[in-house]
C-alpha cells in the first residue's frame, strides 16, 4: 500500500502514525508536527501525522470535543502545507467522510464504530485509505468483516489497528496474538500503543498507564507490525483529551531509536 510517498506492508520498515489526540490549538498542532517530523527525518522513519479534528465519543458531556470542524480541519491542512506530511483523522458519520476526505489521506474509523456499515461503506467510497480500529469488544478474527464492508466498494486500501481489548471494567489488555491473526487478512496491521494503556471511562474520564507504552510498542515491533500508532503531546498531563495515555514528545526520539533497531532485526534489514 502506498500513501503519498510512503509504502506500508510487505515486511517494509515500520511507519509511525503520531500526533496529539485532538487539535487543541494551532500552535501545539504545528509545533508537534514539526518536532516529530524532525525526529523521524533524522531516524529515517516514515511519518504520518494524526490528530482528531473533533472527539465525538468523550465520556463526559463536559469533556473537550474540539475547536469546531472547519477551524480544526483548517489547522490540519496547515500541517499538510507547511510540513508536506500525509494526514489522518477520525470520522464518525457519513457526513464527516466527505468533509475530512478533502483534507486528509487516511480516514480513521474509531474503535467504537468499527461495525457501522454505512460509515465503513462511505469511507470506502471516498477512495481514501481507511484505517479501521478494532473495537475493544471485537475478536481479532472478526475485523475481516469490517474490512469486507470497505472493500465491497472496490477500495482495498485498508489498515487494521489493534488498540486493546476490554478486560473487565475500566481495563484493557493487548493480546499480541491478535496482531498475527489480523495479518492473515492480508492488510497492513497497525499497533496503537497509547490507547492500549487507557483506563477507560472511570469517574467520568479515561485515565491511563503510560509507563507501559514502550513495552507494548517493543512487543508489537518484535512481531513485525507494519505501522505503530502513538498519540504524542508536548505536555500530556495538561492535554485536553487522553491526558493519561499520550506519550511525551521529549521522550519520543529515544524510544523510536530503540524501535528502529528492533524493527531492523525482526525484518532482517
| Separate counts of helices (H) and strands (E) for the chain | 8, 15
65's grid cell: 470535543
pLDDT attached to residue 200: 86
Q: Which pLDDT score, from 0 to 100, does residue 269 have? A: 62
Question: pLDDT tens digits for 216-232?
Answer: 999 999 999 999 999 99
Residue 61, judged by CB atoms within 10 A of its CB (0-12, 13-18, 19+), counts as exposed
In a domain, 70, yes or no: yes
Cβ proximity of 118 and 82 under 8 Å: no
Query: Per the structure, how many domains does the chain have?
Result: 1
> Does 3 map to a domain?
no
Q: Answer whether residue 2 is part of any domain.
A: no
Q: Is residue 208 part of a domain?
A: yes
Q: Cell match 469517574: residue?
A: 203
Q: pLDDT digit string (tens) for 93-150?
A: 999 999 999 999 999 999 999 999 999 999 999 999 999 999 999 999 999 999 999 9
Nearest to 123, CA basis, from 105, 137, 138, 145: 105
| Cell reading at 42 | 533524522
HSE, side-chain direction, 13 A CA sphere, residue 61: 0
Does 104 map to a domain?
Answer: yes
pLDDT at 182 exceeding the cut of 90: yes
Range of the domain at 73: 12-263
C-alpha 73/C-alpha 77 separation (Å) is 6
Global pTM exceeds 0.75 = yes
C-alpha 32/C-alpha 18 separation (Å) is 10
Q: What percent of the chain has a predicted confidence (pLDDT) above 70?
A: 100
Write the CATH number for 243: 3.20.20.70
- pLDDT at residue number 201: 77
Amino acid at each position: 500500500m502506498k500513501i503519498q510517498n510512503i509504502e506500508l506492508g510487505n515486511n517494509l520498515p515500520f511507519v509511525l502514525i503520531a500526533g496529539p489526540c485532538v487539535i487543541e490549538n494551532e500552535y501545539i498542532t504545528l509545533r508537534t508536527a514539526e518536532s516529530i517530523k524532525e525526529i523521524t527525518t533524522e531516524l529515517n522513519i516514515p511519518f504520518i501525522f494524526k490528530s482528531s479534528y473533533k472527539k465525538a465519543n468523550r465520556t463526559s458531556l463536559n469533556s473537550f470535543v474540539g475547536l469546531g470542524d472547519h477551524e480544526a480541519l483548517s489547522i490540519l491542512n496547515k500541517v499538510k502545507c507547511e510540513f508536506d506530511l500525509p494526514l489522518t483523522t477520525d470520522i464518525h458519520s457519513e457526513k464527516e467522510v466527505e468533509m475530512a476526505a478533502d483534507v486528509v489521506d487516511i480516514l480513521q474509523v474509531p474503535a467504537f464504530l468499527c461495525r457501522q456499515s454505512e460509515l465503513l461503506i462511505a469511507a470506502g467510497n471516498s477512495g481514501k485509505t481507511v484505517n479501521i480500529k478494532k473495537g475493544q469488544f471485537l475478536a481479532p478474527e472478526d475485523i475481516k468483516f469490517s474490512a469486507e464492508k470497505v472493500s465491497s466498494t472496490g477500495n482495498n486500501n485498508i489498515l487494521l489497528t489493534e488498540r486493546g481489548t476490554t478486560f473487565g471494567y475500566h481495563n484493557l489488555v493487548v493480546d499480541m496474538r491478535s496482531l498475527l491473526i489480523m495479518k492473515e487478512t492480508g492488510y497492513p496491521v497497525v499497533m496503537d500503543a497509547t490507547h492500549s494503556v487507557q483506563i477507560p471511562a472511570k469517574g467520568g474520564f479515561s485515565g491511563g498507564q503510560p509507563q507501559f507504552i514502550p513495552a507494548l510498542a517493543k512487543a508489537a515491533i518484535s512481531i513485525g507490525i507494519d505501522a505503530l500508532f502513538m498519540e504524542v503531546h508536548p505536555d500530556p498531563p495538561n492535554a485536553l483529551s487522553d491526558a493519561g495515555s499520550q506519550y511525551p514528545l521529549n521522550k519520543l526520539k529515544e524510544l523510536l531509536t530503540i524501535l528502529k533497531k528492533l524493527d531492523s532485526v525482526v525484518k532482517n534489514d
